[in-house]
Structure 1
Amino acid sequence: MSDNGIVIVGAGQSGYQLAVSLRSAGYSSRVRLVGDETSMPYQRPPLSKAFLAGTCDMAQITFQDADFYRKQNIEFVAGKTIASIDRASHTALTDDGVALRYEQLVLAVGARTRTLPFNIGKASGLHYLRTLGDAQRLRQALEHARNIVVVGAGFLGLEFAAVAAAHGKHVSVIENAEEPMSHAVSSIVSRAFREHHESNGVRFLLGDGVSDIRIHDERITGVQTARGAELHADMVVACIGVVPNVELAAKAGLRVANGIVVDSALRTEDPAISALGDCASFPTRYAPGTCRLESIQNATDQARHLAQRLATGNESRFDAVPWFWSDQGGMKLQIAGLNRDLDKTVVRGDIESRHFSVFGFRDNRLVAVESVGAPGDHMIARRLLSRGVDVTPAMAGDPGVSLRDL
């Protein structure tokens, strides 16, 4: 009998972690990890920070070398894209016609960069930041750029803005919303980070957008905003979110809705196909309905959980506390929980010194904690949320109450 084992489509954080965790969980059958990039699997978070800043190199962000995969008996297939899935025959077909039979298929296909709606032809100067190739091109271009426009004031855009400002560049950030990181953090945290970046020379154009990109001699020379501002620019970096890669799943007849829909065990409607990471839409007790999370934590936790099910048959529901972080020019943000639809926030600590936490409540129940320069609060928050400890707004705001002892 042939050993078709598990085929993992996608060699990012979740795909890599799943392959490794399967072996740790005692799975002994065949494991194939298929990646569409030619490089060995690598960490993405440093791309917008240390790698761009030049303080780490490729070797330092690569998870493992080829020898590791050989010793773990993990077949890493680089530079291949899965073009279609035949669910009836349990076969995944690569873009060059190679058929990969599987017992279980895992879609760890991630997400792709959302692009600006401008056709700049062959002009240079427009960059995105998602892959190693993106980061390598951006790092090289950063050396010669002087005036940089960042489109999007989310985590990624602000992390890049911090690196560019630290390199002495003139940085302007354009954001449609009225506050930086408005979809991810409270106004209190948003304001603190805006002031931090402004103190480092970053200029914000909030409630604005890009109406045109100016080009001369096949090089970007400027940006016109929707409100009529003219900005000099020899580099535009667009960080306007991502789109989950659902096309392969949809083509195979699987349900998609803001991601590939899975149950609490990360299984699609096909019992032989699972999905995880940035591409998966899953149920969680930390938010109403289903959600799709773009974070290293979620990718790693889901991979470890799924490995247990595939290796041992453990059908427990995925229930890890969501948490996130962002390092922006010496200022660190950590978030535990999901701060959606909050109806009350309470500050604990000192905002002025940038060592504080914002406790977020929905229906008088603690659902999220944003910590700035307060790693102890963050660790406590993760424990409180995981255990479902009843923390009231009054308790959170009372410095005399030790949350550590709850």
Structure 2
Amino acid sequence: MRNWWQRARLLGEVNPWAVDIGLTLLVQAAMTMPFVVPRPPEVEPATWPAYGLTTLTVLPLVWRRRAPFTVLLAILATSALYKLAVEGPGQPLPYTGLVIVYTIASLSPPRTRLAAALLLIVAVPASVWLNTQSARELTFSLFVFAAAYVFGRLTDARQRATLVEAERAAARERARIAREMHDILSHAVSLMIVQAEAGPLAVRAAPEKAEAAFDAISETGRDAMAQLRRMLGVLREEDGPAPREPQPGLDAIPELLARVRAGGLDVTYDTAGGPGPLPPALGATVHRIVQEALTNVVKHAAARTTAVRLGRAAGLLTVTVTDDGRGPRGVRGPSGGHGLIGLRERAAAHGGTAVTGPGPGGRGFEVRVEIPLDSVAEVRS
């Protein structure tokens, strides 16, 4: 039943005409009931002209989305003609009027809604006067029309809230993709530039080191291309769902450090009291944080050594990257680049914080990220 309802909603989103035609047929079926139910002998039988005029009252609902106010006028006109010109059976509910009032309330701008409300304030009492002239029918009619209007406004509010949430989700996804693209390209290009600049010197002084430098450039470029293909494959849907590969996590950090060392930077890696297994999303975040911190070191710090430390204490996962380079002046902050901003955003996504500044003793630069470890996430990992 649930799958059927989901398919029906999908059909409505893809082809609104199908929904409107189906709704029109449903209303027509409901309004046909009084014509097929046997009538008391003292009441004249229903006639085909009366049924034809009923159908003419229902037919405008096919265009209810395109011209709702015009459809309302058509329904009021045909309904008045039905009451004045033919002797047909009455209806338990004003189906066509309720549908078009709901449509106007959910789809039309305020001015159209106001015009429809003023028109109905006149039309509903007039219809009751032509029918039974009873206060009971007037009260009931006003109630059901007001309910249809309220439901329409609630539908509009829900759709607007859904649209806002979809836009926010799209913005978050764009920011995430931008961070991923920045991390991949910035890291790869920085390492390739360092290796390329060192290559000519190595060719003259130590040819064997030059070969290693060019190999490192090639490996870094291939790795960046592979990660970009994975990201672009996820974004492209023409050929069906793209294969989903896991994001690099803690186990990929040694390979990351090896590529950085190939560029000439001495990097140490300490996991004393280490984090242990982590959920995939958090592991990928830690990898990207380390990657971005090392990219900043390579691009800006002119450092000789860098220390990467991962630890867990008092319910916190701590990631620290410290170098002996030029210090804060050598690292571009929020005003000059997006690296540290993205780093803070990644930490904040897991409820953590990122602090950057001078290293121990005021020398070099340090990136320190603390992320609380949720107990449920740890069990699931």
Provide the TM-score with structure 1 as the length reference.
0.20
Q: Which has the higher contact order (CA 8 A, sep 6+)?
A: 1
Give the structure with the larger helix fraction. 2
Larger radius of gyration: 2
Give the structure with the larger strand fraction. 1
Provide the TM-score with structure 2 as the length reference.
0.21
